[in-house]
C-alpha cells in the first residue's frame, strides 16, 4: 500500500520513477529542465564541461537567461555577457533569453514552469517555479555542471512544512506581507525542508501573487515552495500557448488529505496588516506602524519578487494623482520586457512617471547590488525586493527595509515608511 504523500514526495517520486518515496530517502531524479543566468551559468559551466569533454545532455531542456549583468556597465560585465552568448550559440541552447527580464519571471512567462515537472535552477530563488505545481529547487554551480551534463541529480527527500493561509487578505495586504510575516513566525532556519502552501487565501491568489510565496521560500531556508495546480495555473499556461495536456493528471500532484508533515501551521489572513522588515534580515519584521518615523532616501520597486505587472499596478494605484516626496528617489525596474510592454499599454508606466518615478532597465539591478540604483553609505531605502542583507544593495553602511509594492509606493509619497492603507482610503 502506498503511503499518503505530500506534494514534494509525489513530485520527487515521479522524477525518480518510483511509486513512492519517504523523507530522508536518497534517490536519483531525472531533470525535466535545467536553467541558470549569466552569473551562475555558462561562465562557470564551460571550463568543467571542456575538461570533461562533454556537452549538454539535452540542449532543448536547458534554459539560460541574462539578467544579472544587464545592461553591461563595465568591461567585466560585458565580457560575462559575451561568454554567456557564445556558450548559448556553441552548445545550441534553444531556450536562450537575452536581456528580456529576470529568469524567475521570464521562464513562467514562456510557459516553462509546468505542473509535475522536476526543475533544477542555478539561483537561490529558483523555488519561484513551485507556484506552478513543479518541484523547483536551487543548486550551486558545481552541482549544476553535473545536472546539465547528465540530466540527473541526487536528492534527499525533504520533510514538508505545510502552511495554511485561511480567510481573505484585507485591502492593502498582499503576498509580500504574508511572506515577511512568515519569515518572522516560522524563521529562516528550515534547511532540507520543502514548504507547501494552501488554504482559501492561496486559492484566491493570482499566479503572480502565488509566485511571491514560492519565491520567498528561499528566505525561509526551504528547498522548494509548492502550490497545488488548479484552474488558475492551467489558465495562466493556456494564455501563454502552453496548455497542460492532461489537467486531471496534474491535479494528482496535489497533496493527499492525510499526508504526513513535519509541521502544519495555520494563519488567519483576515487579521493581517502590512508588514515591514528592518535591516538586515527578512525576519526582522513588524507591523508597518512600528516604522512610521523612519525617513527614506530611496524607494526601489524591482526584482523577481517585486516588479511583476501586478506589482507595478499596485504602485500606480497608490501614486495616481500624487507626487513622490522631494527628497525621495523612486526607482522602478520592471522585471521583464513583457511587464514593461503591458504596463505601458495599460497606462501604469505613465502614472508612475507622472508621479516622479524613474524607470530603470529590466534585470536584477540594485536588488543584487548591480547596475543602477545601488546605495551609498548612510542611505535608507524601502524596497519591494526579497532580501535586505547588509551590503546586498550597495554600501554596507546603507539600511534597507522591505515592504510590499503598496508600502514602498506609499513611503515614496510620504517620505518615510508609511501604511499604504492610509493613502488607498483617500483614493
Domain ranges of the chain: 7-268, 273-424
What distance lies between CA 266 and its chain's CA centroid? 23
Mean local confidence (pLDDT), 292-317: 98
Check residue 169 and give left, alpha or beta (phi > 0: left; psi -120 to 50: alpha): beta
- For residue 273, what is the DSSP state? -
Domains 7-268 and 273-424 share a fold: yes
pLDDT-derived band at 401 (thresholds 50, 70, 90) equals: very high
Q: What percentage of the chain carries pLDDT values higher than 90? A: 97
pLDDT digits (tens, 9 = 90+) for 92-128: 999 999 999 999 999 999 999 999 999 999 999 999 9
Residue 30 pLDDT exceeds 50: yes
Burial label for 241, CB within 10 Å (0-12, 13-18, 19+), is exposed
> Is the pLDDT score of 427 beyond 90?
no
Sheet holding 33-37, edge to edge: 95-98, 62-66, 33-37, 118-121, 135-138
DSSP letter, residue 2: P
Q: List, in order, residues 6 or more apart from 426 with CB less than 8 Å away.
A: none
**pTM check: above 0.95:** yes
Neighbour count for residue 409 (Cβ, 10 Å): 35
* pLDDT in the model for residue 424: 87
Q: What is the pLDDT of residues 226-241, one digit of tens each?
A: 999 999 999 999 999 9
Looking at 3.20.20.190, 3.30.499.10, 3.90.180.10, 3.20.20.210, the CATH number of the domain 7-268 comes to: 3.30.499.10
pLDDT tens column, 165-222: 999 999 999 999 999 999 999 999 999 999 999 999 999 999 999 999 999 999 999 9
* Residue keyed to cell 483617500: 426
Topology of the domain comprising 273-424: Aconitase; domain 3 (3.30.499)
* pLDDT value for 425: 63
Contacts made by residues 209-213, CB under 8 angstroms, sequence distance 24+ = 209/174, 209/175, 209/310, 210/131, 210/175, 211/104, 211/105, 211/108, 211/128, 211/131, 211/305, 211/308, 212/174, 212/175, 212/176, 212/178, 212/179, 212/305, 213/131, 213/175, 213/178, 213/179
Main-chain phi, psi angles of 265, to 5 degrees: -125, 135
Amino acid at each position: 500500500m502506498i503511503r499518503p504523500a505530500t506534494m514534494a514526495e509525489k513530485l520527487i517520486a515521479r522524477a525518480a520513477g518510483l511509486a513512492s518515496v519517504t523523507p530522508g530517502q536518497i534517490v536519483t531524479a531525472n531533470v525535466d529542465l535545467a536553467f541558470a543566468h549569466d552569473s551562475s551559468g555558462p561562465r562557470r559551466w564551460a571550463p568543467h564541461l571542456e575538461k570533461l569533454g562533454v556537452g549538454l545532455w539535452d540542449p532543448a531542456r536547458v534554459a539560460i537567461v541574462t539578467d544579472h549583468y544587464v545592461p553591461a556597465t563595465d568591461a567585466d560585465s560585458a565580457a560575462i555577457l559575451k561568454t554567456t552568448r557564445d556558450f548559448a550559440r556553441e552548445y545550441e541552447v534553444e531556450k536562450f533569453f537575452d536581456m528580456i527580464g529576470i529568469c524567475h519571471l521570464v521562464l513562467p512567462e514562456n510557459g516553462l514552469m509546468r505542473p509535475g515537472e522536476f526543475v533544477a535552477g542555478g539561483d537561490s530563488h529558483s523555488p519561484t517555479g513551485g507556484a506552478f505545481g513543479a518541484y523547483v529547487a536551487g543548486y550551486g554551480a558545481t552541482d549544476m555542471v553535473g545536472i546539465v551534463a547528465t540530466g540527473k541529480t541526487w536528492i534527499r527527500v525533504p520533510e514538508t512544512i505545510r502552511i495554511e493561509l485561511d480567510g481573505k487578505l484585507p485591502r492593502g495586504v498582499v503576498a509580500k506581507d504574508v511572506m515577511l510575516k512568515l519569515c518572522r513566525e516560522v524563521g529562516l532556519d528550515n534547511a532540507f525542508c520543502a514548504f507547501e502552501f494552501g488554504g482559501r487565501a492561496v486559492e484566491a491568489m493570482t499566479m503572480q501573487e502565488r509566485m511571491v510565496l514560492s519565491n520567498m521560500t528561499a528566505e525561509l531556508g526551504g528547498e522548494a515552495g509548492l502550490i497545488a495546480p488548479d484552474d488558475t495555473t492551467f489558465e495562466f499556461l493556456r494564455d501563454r500557448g502552453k496548455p497542460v495536456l492532461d489537467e486531471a493528471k496534474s491535479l494528482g500532484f496535489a497533496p493527499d488529505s492525510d499526508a504526513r508533515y513535519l509541521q502544519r501551521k495555520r494563519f488567519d489572513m483576515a487579521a493581517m496588516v502590512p508588514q515591514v522588515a528592518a535591516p538586515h534580515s527578512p525576519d526582522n519584521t513588524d507591523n508597518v506602524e512600528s516604522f512610521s518615523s523612519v525617513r527614506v532616501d530611496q524607494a526601489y520597486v524591482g526584482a523577481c519578487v517585486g516588479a511583476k505587472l501586478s506589482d507595478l499596478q499596485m504602485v500606480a494605484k497608490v501614486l495616481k494623482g500624487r507626487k513622490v516626496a522631494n527628497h525621495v528617489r523612486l526607482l522602478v525596474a520592471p522585471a521583464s520586457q513583457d511587464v514593461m510592454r503591458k504596463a505601458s499599454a495599460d497606462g501604469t508606466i505613465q502614472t508612475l512617471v507622472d508621479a516622479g518615478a524613474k524607470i530603470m532597465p529590466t534585470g536584477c539591478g540594485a536588488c543584487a547590488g548591480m547596475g543602477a540604483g545601488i546605495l551609498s553609505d548612510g542611505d535608507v531605502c524601502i524596497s519591494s525586493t526579497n532580501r535586505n542583507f547588509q551590503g546586498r544593495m550597495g554600501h554596507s553602511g546603507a539600511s534597507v527595509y522591505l515592504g510590499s509594492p503598496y508600502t514602498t509606493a506609499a513611503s515614496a509619497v510620504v517620505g518615510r515608511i508609511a501604511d499604504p492603507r492610509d493613502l488607498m482610503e483617500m483614493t
